[in-house]
């Protein structure tokens, strides 16, 4: 199968942002074939719409929607916490009177997003959710030492892989180191890399390098992984305020992890094939 090539073919999309982590939301019924290649075109910031990834939406018998996340480079990811909130915002916008709770099937399982508030303004509709992100898996400290990179961090799974590095401050060139870390044999499927500075008893600041995307302004699962690693190591206590370049989210860890933050529907449009 291939992407439709009929004249004037076009794909409707919604663009959404969660703390600067931006996604395109597209109903999968509009396309067929190689979603990776099409995602690369859509996410190109010079020749496409531009985004960190596409959440392809499909019907699901047990959930409000099934979301298949493909990164800007065409690779598939299990889940994005921010992307899942963006999906929930889109579902709420389609059914404004019905949804105070949205169930999203992701590659990391079913996730429940509970609507806290909604505000419509000149820059789009902003929804705040608290999402159930599941139980984390926290590994031991892992040292990486090669000719090009040296790092000590903690492996954390939030349904997708993370490597959390605690630092005193953010050094110039951390992006280059993070990119190299993701290519190490310790991470056969690659990994998301977070650098974390502790800012208080209940606060951390992070920088993020996402697998398949690169540096991002925010990450939902990255915020969760960073907070979990900080709590597990005794550096902070739950709930944790997580400060990223794109905005602030709150993570609490009570058996499972809960992530609270905004998602804004920025615009709607059509992409010409």
Are 77 and 112 found together in one domain? Answer: yes
Q: Report pLDDT for 17.
A: 97
> Is the pLDDT assigned to residue 5 strictly greater than 60?
no
Centre a 10 Å sphere on the Cβ of residue 152 and count the other Cβ atoms it contains.
Answer: 11
Query: Would you say residue 4 lies in a domain?
Result: no
Structural domain boundaries enclosing 162: 137-254
Centre a 10 Å sphere on the Cβ of residue 209 and count the other Cβ atoms it contains.
Answer: 24
How far is CA 241 from its chain centroid?
17
Residue that wins the pLDDT comparison between 82 and 2: 82
Are 161 and 149 found together in one domain? Answer: yes
Are 54 and 161 found together in one domain? Answer: no
> What's the domain count of the chain?
2
- Across 235-260, average pLDDT: 97
> Is the pLDDT assigned to residue 124 strictly greater than 90?
no
Q: How far apart are the first and last CA of the chain?
A: 15
CATH of the domain at 142: 3.10.310.10
Query: Would you say residue 156 lies in a domain?
Result: yes
> pTM to 2 decimals?
0.92
User: 108: left (phi > 0), else alpha (psi -120 to 50), else beta?
Assistant: alpha
Give percent of the chain with pLDDT exceeding 90. 88
User: 265: left (phi > 0), else alpha (psi -120 to 50), else beta?
Assistant: beta
Are 159 and 244 found together in one domain? Answer: yes
Ranges of H-type helices in the chain = 35-43, 81-94, 174-181, 220-232
Query: Would you say residue 2 lies in a domain?
Result: no
Tokens of 156: 């954390």
Read off φ and ψ for residue 177, nearest 5 degrees: -65, -45
């Amino acid at each position: 199968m291939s992407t439709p090539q009929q004249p004037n073919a076009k794909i409707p999309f919604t663009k959404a942002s969660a703390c600067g982590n931006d996604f395109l939301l597209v109903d999968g019924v509009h396309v067929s074939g190689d979603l990776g290649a099409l995602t690369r075109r859509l996410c190109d910031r010079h020749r496409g719409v531009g985004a960190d990834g596409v959440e392809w939406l499909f019907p699901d018998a047990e959930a409000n929607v099934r979301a298949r996340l493909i990164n800007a480079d065409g690779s598939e990811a299990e889940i994005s916490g921010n992307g899942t909130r963006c999906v929930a915002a889109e579902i709420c916008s389609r059914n404004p009177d019905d949804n105070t709770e949205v169930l999203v099937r992701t590659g990391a399982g079913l996730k429940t997003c509970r609507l806290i508030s909604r505000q419509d303004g000149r820059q789009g509709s902003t929804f705040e959710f608290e999402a159930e992100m599941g139980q984390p898996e926290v590994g031991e400290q892992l040292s990486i030492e090669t000719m090009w990179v040296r790092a000590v961090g903690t492996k954390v799974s939030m349904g997708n892989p993370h490597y959390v590095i605690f630092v005193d401050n953010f050094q110039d060139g951390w992006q280059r180191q993070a990119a190299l870390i993701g290519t190490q044999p310790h991470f056969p499927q690659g990994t998301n890399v977070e650098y974390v500075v502790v800012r208080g008893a209940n606060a951390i600041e992070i920088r993020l390098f996402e697998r398949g995307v690169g540096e991002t302004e925010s990450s939902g699962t990255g915020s969760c992984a960073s907070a979990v690693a900080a709590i597990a190591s005794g550096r902070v206590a739950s709930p944790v305020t997580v400060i990223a370049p794109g905005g602030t989210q709150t993570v609490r860890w009570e058996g499972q992890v809960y992530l609270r933050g905004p998602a804004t529907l920025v615009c709607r449009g059509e992409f010409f094939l």
